[in-house]
Amino acid sequence: MHRALDGRLLQRLRLLHPRWNPEQDVCPECLAAALAALRRQRSATSMHADLLLSYPVYARDEAELLPTPVRLHANPRYAGRGVTLAFLDSGFYPHPDLSEPANRVLAHVDATVPEPVIKPNFRRADPSSWHGLMTSAVAAGNGCLSGGVYRGLASEASLVLVKTGNRRNRRIPDRDILRAFQWMVSHHADFGVRVVNLSIGGDYPAMGDQTPLDALVEEAVAQGLVVVAAAGNGGVNQIIPPASARSAITVGGLDDQNSLDPHFRRMWRSSFGPGVGGVLKPDLIAPAIWVAAPMLPRTWAHNEATWLWRLERLCDQELASYLRTREAEARFKRETLRRPLDEVRAIIRRRIVEQKYIHPHYQHVDGTSMAASIVSALVAQMLEANPRLSPAQVKDILIETAEPLPYVPQAEQGRGVISAPRAVAAALRAAGGPLTGLPFSPWVTPAAVTWYCYAPGARSVALAGSFNGWQPVDGGMWECRPGLWQIRLPPPPSGQHAYKYLVDGERWIHDVENPARVDDGAGGFHSLLTIHRA
């Protein structure tokens, strides 16, 4: 298997096999051994304090914040195309991640006034815009200012942004949410809205009876809208409407500790408790911390981030010259300017850490507001995969494919952590989907293992793995339905087996339906099949 290997893996292969030429093909067994050796070197605890980072990392050469699609093993085929998401929040901004290269904002609505009105000009970057920018971009940003790295799951979805609240209160009361939400319910068909994200909460905790906000959620769902609501960040046993509504998909918080290893998963401090009629909330959980989001342009935080990032990348001579400028005298304390360069660099890095800056234009954020946005984006992927899904089907699929955290009460986590690959796979298999009636891949029975690869437009697909010597010629798949490739083989021996698909004889991809995977050393993944024999 020939691939563009990353530097750390090349170094390990050269150490293990001094006579190997990097331009030669890589022996899969040798590659697996090198990868296993690298994984053993990872720390069991975070090294972020030693590396002066604001988020957990477990190896010096893997000191990056996981982008949301990578964090969730999201199916890269789907990005919310043809789906419109609506966000109700305190304010918004037409960030390049939403408006370039094409503007995907269909409407911006000011619902802070008695009669909501569409206002196309909303370029003022005031503090009320920050939260709505984060929620909308976490879901549907395309990562434009990061070269596509920090994008959301629904990076090609369209948006309707509804500003709610009022000038007298920082908190958004029930009446303001109701006014904005009612406008959305009344006008959703005008923009083709399928999903409404409510990363906001009302006045008082749920007491079991249905409030007007809860009732409006039920009305919206009855009209075909999927309603996603944040559970809240108090870590207490109480749920506030609209998250209390029976039909809302209420989302609590997961802390994955910036790791793909499920053993690192734990609860974030999200709220939980009984909703309408005593129904337990949340319904499920999603990442609520270490989430990348763009900063509001032209604010002090964004200006500081771009400045600090520029300074950190100056060579010693350039930094020394800068520290003698009037700008440096205005920005730094005199005491700092007299320090050695290495101490000045440490001060710069500490400030970057304190403010959670991860890029000149992005920082990491937290809260169930972000978790709800991630779920809304996943719903957009599901609806792209199968537009015929009803709100009830969407909720059922998310719940049925979720993965519970061990040792955490169900009352706190609902049915568990969202599974992005399985949720989309289940959407494809629901009524009206192209894979209706088929099991997930890989499908293991005592007699055989069946793999499915949905690759519309492919001319050929082959399966290669440790069980067939990584020889695609021995794993040719056949097109059993339009775009769907299949192969059935006898079960391999007990143990764990890595595999991939080779598409059109030139492009290697992992099994996007299988959440069990490990990195392949080349920026991708090997999918894993585990066989248990009695």
Domain span holding position 501: 443-508+524-531
Predicted pLDDT of residue 171: 76
pLDDT digits (tens, 9 = 90+) for 388-407: 999 999 999 999 999 999 99
Predicted pLDDT of residue 476: 92
pLDDT at 134 over 90: yes
pLDDT digits (tens, 9 = 90+) for 188-200: 999 999 999 999 9
User: What is the mean predicted confidence (pLDDT) over 504-515?
Assistant: 93
Query: Which residues, including other chains, have CB under 8 Å from residue 522's CB and lie 6 or more apart?
Result: 3, 4, 5, 6, 9
User: What is the mean predicted confidence (pLDDT) over 444-472?
Assistant: 93
Same domain, 130 and 49: no
Provide the pairing of β-strand 84-89 with 158-163.
parallel
Res. 462 pLDDT band, cuts 50 70 90:
very high
**Number of separate domains in the chain:** 4
Q: Is residue 119 part of a domain?
A: yes
User: Global pTM?
Assistant: 0.93
Same domain, 179 and 319: no
Res. 2 pLDDT band, cuts 50 70 90:
very low
Same domain, 275 and 380: yes
Q: Among 106, 109, 131, which Cα is nearest to 118's?
A: 109
Predicted pLDDT of residue 474: 81
What would the two tokens of residue 420 be? 């992005």
Query: Which residues, including other chains, have CB under 8 Å from residue 121's CB and lie 6 or more apart?
Result: none
Q: Using an 8 Å Cβ cutoff, are 153 and 68 in contact?
A: yes
Q: Is residue 159 part of a domain?
A: yes
Same domain, 237 and 221: yes
User: What is the mean predicted confidence (pLDDT) over 173-180?
Assistant: 95
pLDDT digits (tens, 9 = 90+) for 261-273: 999 999 999 999 9
Same domain, 82 and 117: yes
Same domain, 289 and 347: no
E strand or H helix that includes residue 291: strand 291-294
Same domain, 177 and 320: no
Same domain, 199 and 50: no
Query: Which residues, including other chains, have CB under 8 Å from residue 53's CB and lie 6 or more apart?
Result: 63, 353
- Give the integer Cα–Cα distance in Å for 195 and 225: 6
pLDDT at 446 over 80: yes
How many other β-carbons are positioned within 10 Å of the β-carbon of residue 245?
Answer: 28
Q: Is residue 435 part of a domain?
A: no
Same domain, 254 and 143: yes
Q: Using an 8 Å Cβ cutoff, are 80 and 384 in contact?
A: yes
Q: Using an 8 Å Cβ cutoff, are 464 and 500 in contact?
A: yes
187 strand-pairing partners: none
pLDDT at 26 over 90: no
Predicted pLDDT of residue 174: 93
Predicted pLDDT of residue 87: 98
pLDDT at 38 over 60: no
Predicted pLDDT of residue 10: 63
Which one-letter amino acid corresponds to residue 394?
V
pLDDT at 33 over 80: no
Q: Is residue 48 part of a domain?
A: yes
User: What is the mean predicted confidence (pLDDT) over 422-441?
Assistant: 96
* Whole-number average pLDDT of the chain: 91
User: What is the mean predicted confidence (pLDDT) over 476-484?
Assistant: 95
pLDDT at 434 over 80: yes
Q: Which CATH number fits the domain that encloses residue 485?
A: 2.60.40.10
- Give the integer Cα–Cα distance in Å for 14 and 409: 48
Least trusted range by pLDDT, from 55-59, 316-320, 325-329: 55-59
Same domain, 57 and 80: no
CA distances from 278 to 146, 207, 228, 244, 273 (A): 44, 8, 19, 9, 8
Q: Is residue 186 part of a domain?
A: yes
Q: Which CATH number fits the domain that encloses residue 185?
A: 3.40.50.200
pLDDT digits (tens, 9 = 90+) for 43-55: 778 888 888 899 9
Predicted pLDDT of residue 21: 62
Q: Using an 8 Å Cβ cutoff, are 514 and 528 in contact?
A: yes
Q: Among 376, 366, 356, 362, which Cα is nearest to 288's?
A: 366
Q: Is residue 518 part of a domain?
A: no
pLDDT digits (tens, 9 = 90+) for 254-310: 999 999 999 999 999 999 999 999 999 999 999 999 999 999 998 999 999 999 999
CA distances from 190 to 115, 149, 458 (A): 17, 32, 36
pLDDT at 376 over 70: yes
User: What is the mean predicted confidence (pLDDT) over 447-453?
Assistant: 96
User: What is the mean predicted confidence (pLDDT) over 404-432?
Assistant: 97
User: What is the mean predicted confidence (pLDDT) over 116-121?
Assistant: 91
Predicted pLDDT of residue 282: 98
Same domain, 168 and 305: no
| H helices present in 208-340, as ranges | 212-222, 300-312, 316-322, 326-331, 334-337
| DSSP three-state, residue 21 | coil
- Give the integer Cα–Cα distance in Å for 526 and 524: 7
Output 230 or 18, whichever has higher pLDDT.
Answer: 230
Res. 417 pLDDT band, cuts 50 70 90:
very high
Res. 29 pLDDT band, cuts 50 70 90:
low
143 strand-pairing partners: none
